[in-house]
Structure 1
Amino acid sequence: MVVFFFVVGLEVRQEFAHGALRDSSRARLAAIAGVAGVAVPALVYVLVVGASGGEGLRGWGAVVGTDTAFMLGALAIVGPRLSGQLRVFLLTLTVVDDFLAVSIIGVFYSDEIRPVPLLVALGCLVALWLVGRSRQWSAAPYVGIVIVLWLATLSSGIHASLTGMIAGLLIPAYPTQRHKVVAARQLFRDFWQSPSASSARAVGRGLSKGVSVNERLHEYLRLPTALLVVPIFALANAGVDLGGGVVADSLGSPVTWGLIAGLVLGKLLGIGIATLLAVRMGAGRLPEGVGMGSVFGGAALSGIGFTVSLLVISLAFDSSSDLGRQATLGVLVAMVLATVLGWSIFKVAARRWGEETADLPMTLDSPVDPEVDHIRGPEDARLTLVEFVDFECEYCAHATGSWEDLHGRFGDDLRYVVRHLPHHPHGPLAARAAEAAAKQGMFWPWLDFVFTRQHALEREDLIGYAAELGLDVEAFIEDLDSDEVAARVQRDIASAEASGAKMTPTFFVDGCRMVGSYDARPLTEMLESSRRGGRTQAAKA
């Protein structure tokens, strides 16, 4: 389970570095909902079990955590047809939930603490921080320190899950750095021209340097954790002997009902009501496309505690004891009830409040208009590719060469439309400059020219490009500052918001937003699918 919580820590660090937790209002809402989703279930458990007192109270920590994998699986089955944004919200919330849960495990369910191994473990954490600060790209030093950390923590008496998550939080994460990707491309070219073991090793090192060690470790461990660690742990701890009157004893056990009430009702009320109050008080905001009905449905699914709950039960009671078996049965019943409750809430939300989806829009708004949009290729082409671009974006099709690959494949069967979504520092000015060039019939030459000069997009640079391309510079400057050009760029920004485009590049194939990888290969597959008439399947790809 240390590996499981280490992976959770890696995910948390990624969310803070370049994910949902970068948005302070969403991070704040997730923190509020996450804390309430831990405190309220624990309170409900204590209220149910407290009257009987005794050893049963020790199991309060079994209701605080959520099994993220099972919850997301249930969401995919019983949730709205499209639930991407709700999924992001629940993932962000469980980041806080898991951190608090693993902290509780480490503090309240640890053995007698031994100071020397504990000092070694603390030294390992400091070493991890120092290695991260040095921007070490190789995974080997991190893995070596984490192994020593794990062994030291086991000897210290503190449950290793706590340091597993802290270690994951200390592994640096950052967005992919374009200059390192370009350097890796040159190394691959060297290998292509002269293949050898040394050049192949250089390519591998170059590719690794382009992606943070956090993301690489997460990629290595994600599937083994999901396919091996969690199932093996669940199989080892979920077995319940229903013979010998266990069911009858459980039905009369405050521990069983405390687990059920804490997970099913506590999670629903804690997360749902805390989110509702926080949004109404302006303390945070929900992701776009997510309504409160969907939030309560997701809150209900958060009552699937399974893995974390079983871990605490094994520490609090011993899974084979009477209390342990009663608690385990409560967790399994809560898992079923939470799923059914979530399904019911989603159905009501769709019927009563029209919340049929909990995601960003998937359809282009507004449709391509030849009188307004910039179109490259025949206006009546069979296929339409719309790209929202920022002239400072290093991953747009004109910066990566994807457009050339697509045009070479589809030719006149494809029309290509560009709309603006400026979000980099120089993006708004560069977008207006492109529209100023379009006023002189030079949009596409401008686009091709300026995308090769992304490093220089100041006002003086743009005016210089206008002169190099032979534009009327005075008219260009006048249009650059005009309200008409600003309104034209704003039209595209409004289209992006209405279409669910948040970052660049975002692609639409025949009006359907593409999700996932956006290099030439998946774009080609989606266009081919659309050409064969499989637009619905393409949109789900």
Structure 2
Amino acid sequence: MTNPSDDRRQFLGLLSLPERRFLTDALRAETVGGVLLLVAAACALVWANVWPHGYETVRDYTFGPGSPLHLDLSVEAWAQDGLLTIFFFVAGIELKREFVAGELRTPSAALLPVVAAVCGVVLPAVLFVTVNLAAPDGHPTGWAIPTATDIAFALGVLAVVGSHLPSALRAFLLTLAVVDDLIAILIIAVFFSSGIEFWALGAALAGLALFWFLHRRGVHGWWLFVPLAVLNWALMHESGVHATVAGVAMGLMLRCHREEGEEQSPGEHIEHLVRPLSAGFAVPVFALFAAGVPVSGKVLGEVFTEAAPLGIVIGLLVGKSVGIFGGTWLAARHTRATLNPQLTWSDMFALATVAGIGFTVSLLISDLAFPDDEHLAELCKEAVLVGSLACAVVGTLLLKRRNRYYRRLYDEENRDEDGDGIPDVYQQQG
């Protein structure tokens, strides 16, 4: 294996031991969440196609307080605007930690995943717009749908197929997804916010400032921060800015560096508490009420004949894989980075293909992009499922080719013959 001290120069090298331990815990939670996400999506498809009336009745059931904050929302809207805020809150903490203590804390380490994520967003959008401008029935306004990577779904697929990927590959996928989440958050905030209510936005910003001030002053107590967070979310929802932005903002405000005597920073501690709620409940419930689309030969035919859904499939399968791989290769070629000699660029392409699995955010943007055309939004969701399935199958086949070799690397990396809890490879290299 490679020396941890070479990480800045070597791409996909051995992680430092503290970073490896943190990522192992994070990836374990994401993997379990990914499996639950797969189950929820399958249940949604079965429910929506076997008993469509029951599914629509539950999905469209409205409850909650009305004026002045207009929170009388359907079950689908509560899942989309409410539960996904928990997901984006965790994403905000992940972003903050990556920037202050993780792989993104230095420009040299951040360059490859940032370039890869940006290329993995731009190329799918370009392909989608190209397909839709070339067709008379095109809808280029849906360009953002195929741009997002779903880390939970991707890791869930890896868990199901049983691939023993080295930790460096999994870590790169997680870091890539964190940057991808940041871009998705900016896209939602800039392009899918409308009818701004400035009084509510001002009140939300004041609430966020109070959240930051109390946290920085060392004030503790869920009984204070949870109601304040809910109020900030409600005000952001009323303002016209997408409500999930409030979750990201509060996540970014948490301190994620450790001070003297701390085993965990406040951000890491809160992420450890909230991540199971996000991965185990919030995201699967969202999937249950977002992925329930009709499946038939006619609908699947429209996915490949209508410009918008076809652009999504091409964007996910071709745009994400080629964009991520090409961006990584170009960044490595024009920097001092060298690929870990135990891995090949074909491994990177396989991982890039798996990163084409776009689910949670892609389903969300499908509704946001076409709020007045339910049929088109459902076709786009169908295309997200088809494109993600295609990426999962192709990525699995590419990874399975080398799974025996990955298993040897994985066993070598995790061997602990003296049973002291520290893999031997770290002790051998001091």
TM-score (norm 2): 0.72
Confirm whether residue 88 of structure 1 aligns to residue 171 of structure 2: yes
Task: Give, in whole Å, the separation in 2 of the partners of 1:362 and 1:219.
Answer: 25
Structure 2 CA distance, aligned partners of 1:255 and 1:51? 11
Tell me what 2:355 maps to.
Answer: 302
Q: Does 1:258 align with 2:297?
A: no
The question of 1:249 aligning with 2:307 is answered no
Give CA-to-partner distance per residue, 1:386-416, whole Å, 9 cap, x none: 6879xxxxxxxxxxxxxxxxxxxxxxxxxxx
The answer to whether structure 1 residue 221 and structure 2 residue 255 are counterparts is no
CA contact (8 A) 1:304 1:339 kept: yes
Counterparts of 1:107 and 1:348, CA distance in 2:
41
Aligned-pair CA distance for 1:252: 1.2
Separation of aligned partners in 2, 1:304 and 1:144:
35
Task: Give the deviation of 1:147 after TM superposition.
Answer: 2.0
The question of whether the paired residues in 2 share the 8 Å contact of 1:85 and 1:359 is answered with: no
Tell whether the 8 Å contact from 1:106 to 1:160 is kept in structure 2 after alignment: no
Query: What is the 5 A alignment of 1:86-485?
Result: 86-175=169-258, 177-178=260-261, 211-242=264-295, 245-282=298-335, 291-318=344-371, 321-348=374-401, 361-362=412-413, 384-385=418-419
**TM-fit CA distance, 1:318:** 4.0
Q: Offset at 1:362?
A: 2.2
2:89 and 2:247 in contact (8 A); partners too: yes
Q: Are residues 1:44 and 2:78 paired? A: no
Counterpart position of 2:52: none
Which structure has the larger Rg over C-alpha atoms? Answer: 1
Q: Secondary structure at the match of 2:143?
A: helix
Preserved CA contact (<8 Å) 1:288 1:359: no
Alignment length (residue pairs): 347
Aligned to 1:9, the other structure's residue is in SS state helix
CA distances 1:2-56 after superposition (whole Å, capped 9, x unpaired): 1111111112222233322234422221111111111111111111112126662
1:19 partnered with 2:70 = no
Decide which structure has greater helix share.
2
Superposed CA offset, 1:157-182 (max 9, x none)? 0111223212211111123743x5xx
- Please report how far the alpha carbon of residue 262 of structure 1 lies from its aligned counterpart in structure 2 after TM superposition: 0.4
Q: Which amino acid aligns with 2:275?
A: R
- Secondary structure (helix, strand or coil) at the match of 2:99 reads helix
Letter of the 1:75 counterpart:
L
CA distance 1:101–1:230, change in 2 (3 Å): same
Deviation at residue 360 of structure 1 after TM alignment: 9.0
Contact 1:246 1:325 in 2 (8 A): no
| Paired position in structure 1 for 2:429 | 496
> CA 1:92/1:253 → structure 2, altered by over 3 Å: closer, same or farther?
same
Q: Contact 1:85–1:287 at 8 Å: present in 2 too? A: no
- What's the counterpart of residue 18 of structure 2? none
Which one-letter code corresponds to 1:27 in the other structure? A
**CA contact 2:350–2:398 (8 Å) conserved in 1:** yes
Give 2:116's aligned residue.
Answer: 33
Gap change, CA 1:387 and 1:61, over 3 Å in 2? closer
CA distance in 2, matches of 1:283, 1:128: 42
Alignment partner of 2:150 out of 67, 77, 82: 67
2:125–2:147 CA contact under 8 A, matched in 1? yes
The answer to whether the Cα contact below 8 Å between 1:45 and 1:261 also exists between their aligned partners in 2 is yes
SS at match of 1:228: helix
How many angstroms does 1:339 deviate by?
A: 0.8
Letter of the structure 2 residue corresponding to residue 26 of structure 1: A
CA–CA distance in structure 2, aligned partners of residues 141 and 260 of structure 1: 45
Give the fraction of aligned pairs with identical amino acids, expressed as a percent. Answer: 34
Cα distance change, pair 262–283 in 1 and its aligned pair in 2 (3 A)? farther
Higher relative CO (CA 8 A, sep ≥ 6), structure 1 or 2?
2
How far did 1:336 drift? 1.2
Q: CA deviation at 1:311?
A: 0.3
Which residue is 2:140 aligned to? 57
